[in-house]
Structure 1
Amino acid sequence: MTGVVERIHRRRPADPGGFNRKLIAPMILGSVLNPINSSMLAVALIPIGMAFHAAPAQTAWLVSALYLATAVGQPVIGRLVDSHGPRLLYLTGTALVGVAGLMGVFAPNLGMLIVSRVLLGFGTSAAYPASMYLLRTESDRTGMKSPSGILAALSISNQVIAVIGPTLGGLLIGAGGWHLIFAINVPLSASCLVLGARRLPRRARLGKETGPAQRADVLGMILFAGMLTALMLFLMNPGLDQWYLLVIAAVVGAGFAWRELRCVQPFIDLRVLRGNAPLLATYGRQLLTATTSYAFLYGFTPWLEEGRSLSASGAGLVLLPMSAAAIVVTAATGRRTEVRGKLLVGALVQIIGCAALLLLDASSPIWLLALLGAVIGIPQGLNGLANQNALYAQADPARMGSSAGLLRTFMYLGALLASAANAAFYKHGATTGGLHDLSRLLLVVAAMFLIATVADRSLSRIGRAADSADGRTPDDLDDLDDRSENDARPVRR
């Protein structure tokens, strides 16, 4: 990550041909708030369950609550960023993270802890669409149409936090209990507020028109949240006696789609997808890869503590090779804008890793567990950045905040599906049998991801110009974005 950031920093901030390096620190720090809260919680689920005498199916709502909130918050804040610019939304969101951290520290019961996770979800929803918006405004200002180095730095930073998160969470739990994984949000929030207030531009707009003020689509929010909640309630406790929940989810979902396609200022702008099949495919791949990666994180880690009898800090150390591998892969491939090859390799290795879970039991040696983590880290380093690069090329520049927020929404939907799967398979604890059942489901999801990648021929065109033999680098990739800027329509792939 240091090499990527240093290359970016060599450009002077006052130079109209270079990216404003003052934006990098608040962008990166804000973007890691969500992954650090996700990764630390993975090692805290067992201790929290013991503290509140809660079963795994109950503590799974600590995961689901955050991602329900982010699934709702991302598109809302993405739309607000498009309308009002990134500064206000970034500062408000990061301030809410500090409030949620304090609430978690003093939570007297599991219910209040879940509420704090909801607030964390909303608070951490601001930085990513704000960062993508800033990338686009800087791209317009400098003429650097593909800031792949900065995209790689953002992705690598998130992978670094994935390294730090589980280990840091385990160390904090060992030092002072699970409360400390919430307390760390207070200094992180304060740092974001200081950097954001000092460095983010007061005015950052795409184009000459600021557009009308956004109205809150309250009905759309209610329908979307109702659809997800009904679906989650069924998936976390599936059974024939719960069939009505699926009916509710389907009916409410249909009403949500009807509403959003007819609303002038929708909660989720489904029109982003209209006529842009490649972008829709990218969202689908994001959903599938997030389901696999989060199910592994929240399924494998509790099994290490309960099924393999490791401590929270020990489980965090076992996960180090996973994220270390992801960092190495992202650093090695991050500046190349080509995506199809990355996704194909990531899909195949993902299948291998999911299948290897079937080989584990309570006596599996530590080296094998660490090796499996390293294997899983490879697709985590490839797939997320590839999908992000694909979105940057495919989305309408005028709706970049909305499109980026929707990409994160699909990622969080995958996390919700993963949380539901873990709750369903770990009804009686994180057992080896439950882990094997989870791995069979993940094999199906990983196979679907491979099929979706092979079938999408449009992926082969992304990055072709940048990687050709004419000497241009990814930072000179102008044609992908100029086409959409000239006709104000999504790029057709």
Structure 2
Amino acid sequence: MTLRERLRPTNTGFDRKLIAPLVAGAVLNPINSTIISVALIPIGVALGEPPRATAWLISSLYLATAVGQPVVGRLIDVYGPRRLFLPATALVGLAGVIGALAPNLGVLIAARVILGFGTCAGYPAAMRLIRDEADRTGQGSPAGILTILAISTQTIAVIGPPLGGLLIGLGGWRTTLAINVPIAAAAFLLGQRRFPKDTRSNGRPNLDYTGIVLFATTLVALLLFLMNPRPTNAYLLAIAAAAATGFAVRELRHPDPFIDLRVLGGNVPLLLTYGRALLAYIVGYSFLFGFTQWLEEGRGLAAGHAGLVLLPMFATAIVVSAVTGRREELRGKLIVASAAQVLACALLLTLHPHSPIWLVVGIVLIFGLPQGLNSIALQNAVYRQANPADIGASAGLLRTFGYLGAITSSAALGGFYGARADTVGLHHLAVFLVATGAAYLLVNVFDRSLRKR
């Protein structure tokens, strides 16, 4: 069977006109998550900032998206995808302009925050539309469409570094922000022309605004602590705990809660999926950003060459996703993915400034395996396990836990690298990642709910 045949939806009745805007919106966040990886060093040099400071360019986007994804997902469940998707993509274009013109790191961080909020609608809107089309056509699990979505998001995430290296070579680091303007314009036009008009609530629904504020306060305080985990910042944990308590009380009493804790608490398989997403993305983002920075500073490669070294990961991920995408089984995919993460991170301990390029590329190839498996398996797990009426918010929560992992990885990079991404820091990071990957592997091995459809 050819790749095109594997990706082609068969007998689903899915509206093919929706595929292009679905993909265009969903890729806005992953491309901005990874394209920055090869730009961190050039930005730091240009603006005179150390890696500890430029790490905020990673954390700021994840902070905004971690808070915004489930909130926007909930609004999409209430109002429909189109009403949230169009203004959100316009915000992405605005962020691209601000970032390209940023005179200092502070403005650049602000642009990344705006970018984070702007990219919040793409993935929840895609999952909502896929669920709506599945209900319309009677096809409960459109594996072909889910595979296309998973391949597009994880592919663009891997393309990000080499694309960033190419853009930096052509026009400097500012082009990695400016690229958002044409991409956002294309997504906006596709959404405007092809998304169906929303038929959901036209009035003012009984949204749980207090719950949303308490949820956001909990996440912001927790994430700010994770960005700088010091005893002097322990007050942030106290704020997070107080807001979380208030959030739990509020959600249990509200007739239409932002997040139904009773339903979520009783859905153990979904909670485990969120937990494994946290662990998987701690390892994934730490490898992507930590390894890339080491290639530039520890191994001495140029930004463009560092991006090219990551290309085998892209090829491996594409092949793995295409081959396994239509298979319903989840447990085997997740076990293989987590085992490959442990192996690749263990091999980081063998690297030194003069390591042969074949060893570097070999590690990248191994990591392409979990890159292809994790994205599609976690996405399909949420699609199966979540309440269909709340698929937008549930998909947003999946991304939130992924961003928690990304911010944890950012804090780890700041702690292990400090002023320079050297080999000693890489080895300390590798030990941390092997331990995290082993925990992820154990969760997958012992979670019996994965065996059930």
Shift of 1:248: 3.7
Q: How does 1:54-73 map to 2 (within 5 A)?
A: 54-73=49-68
Aligned residues between the structures = 452
Shift of 1:303: 0.9
CA contact (8 A) 1:340 1:453 kept: yes
Distance in 2 (CA, whole Å) between partners of 1:111 and 1:3 is 45
Q: Percent identity?
A: 58
Shift of 1:292: 0.8
CA contact (8 A) 2:154 2:375 kept: no
Deviations 1:283-324 (A, max 9, x none): 111111111101111111111111111111011001111122
Distance in 2 (CA, whole Å) between partners of 1:4 and 1:251 is 52
Q: How does 1:49-448 map to 2 (within 5 A)?
A: 49-203=44-198, 210=201, 213-214=204-205, 217-448=208-439
Deviations 1:329-376 (A, max 9, x none): 111101111101101111111111111111111111122111101111
Secondary structure in structure 2 of the residue aligned to 1:125: coil
Distance in 2 (CA, whole Å) between partners of 1:158 and 1:100 is 20
Shift of 1:188: 0.7
Q: CA RMSD in A?
A: 2.0
Q: How does 1:410-489 map to 2 (within 5 A)?
A: 410-462=401-453
Query: Structure 1 length as normaliser, TM-score?
Result: 0.87
Distance in 1 (CA, whole Å) between partners of 2:363 and 2:51 is 24
Distance in 2 (CA, whole Å) between partners of 1:6 and 1:380 is 18
Deviations 1:69-121 (A, max 9, x none): 11111111111111111111111111110001001011111111111111111
CA contact (8 A) 2:43 2:54 kept: yes
2:36 aligned partner: 41
CA contact (8 A) 1:325 1:374 kept: yes
Structure 2 vs 1, CA of residues 219 and 306 (structure 1 numbering), >3 Å: closer, same or farther?
Answer: farther
Greater mean alpha carbon deviation, residues 388-397 or residues 221-230: 221-230
Distance in 2 (CA, whole Å) between partners of 1:139 and 1:178 is 42
Greater mean alpha carbon deviation, residues 40-49 or residues 391-400: 391-400
Structure 2: which amino acid aligns with 1:73?
G
Structure 1: which amino acid aligns with 2:91?
L
CA contact (8 A) 1:75 1:267 kept: no
Shift of 1:130: 0.8
Deviations 1:362-411 (A, max 9, x none): 11112211110111110111122111111111111111111111111111
Shift of 1:272: 4.5
CA contact (8 A) 2:6 2:323 kept: no
| Unpaired stretches in structure 1, ≥5 consecutive residues | 12-16, 463-493
Distance in 1 (CA, whole Å) between partners of 2:124 and 2:5 is 21
Shift of 1:189: 0.9
CA contact (8 A) 2:3 2:322 kept: no
Distance in 2 (CA, whole Å) between partners of 1:237 and 1:201 is 44
Structure 2 vs 1, CA of residues 241 and 140 (structure 1 numbering), >3 Å: closer, same or farther?
Answer: closer
Distance in 2 (CA, whole Å) between partners of 1:128 and 1:162 is 14
Structure 2: which amino acid aligns with 1:163?
V
Structure 2 vs 1, CA of residues 50 and 128 (structure 1 numbering), >3 Å: closer, same or farther?
Answer: same
Shift of 1:178: 0.6
Structure 2: which amino acid aligns with 1:397?
P
CA contact (8 A) 1:40 1:166 kept: yes
CA contact (8 A) 1:421 1:438 kept: yes
Shift of 1:160: 2.3
Secondary structure in structure 2 of the residue aligned to 1:273: helix
Distance in 2 (CA, whole Å) between partners of 1:453 and 1:105 is 42
Shift of 1:230: 3.7
Distance in 1 (CA, whole Å) between partners of 2:70 and 2:158 is 28
Distance in 2 (CA, whole Å) between partners of 1:46 and 1:450 is 33
Distance in 1 (CA, whole Å) between partners of 2:204 and 2:435 is 44
Deviations 1:132-186 (A, max 9, x none): 1111111111111110111111111123213321111011111111110111111
Distance in 2 (CA, whole Å) between partners of 1:265 and 1:420 is 36
1:27 aligned partner: 22
Query: 4+ residue stretches of structure 1 with deviation over 6 A?
Result: none
1:465 aligned partner: none
Distance in 2 (CA, whole Å) between partners of 1:55 and 1:288 is 27
Structure 2 vs 1, CA of residues 28 and 373 (structure 1 numbering), >3 Å: closer, same or farther?
Answer: same
Greater mean alpha carbon deviation, residues 234-243 or residues 31-40: 234-243
Structure 2: which amino acid aligns with 1:450?
L
Distance in 1 (CA, whole Å) between partners of 2:415 and 2:213 is 26
1:488 aligned partner: none
Structure 2: which amino acid aligns with 1:279?
L
Distance in 1 (CA, whole Å) between partners of 2:3 and 2:23 is 13
CA contact (8 A) 2:151 2:321 kept: yes
1:479 aligned partner: none
Shift of 1:216: 5.8
1:469 aligned partner: none
Distance in 2 (CA, whole Å) between partners of 1:216 and 1:275 is 23
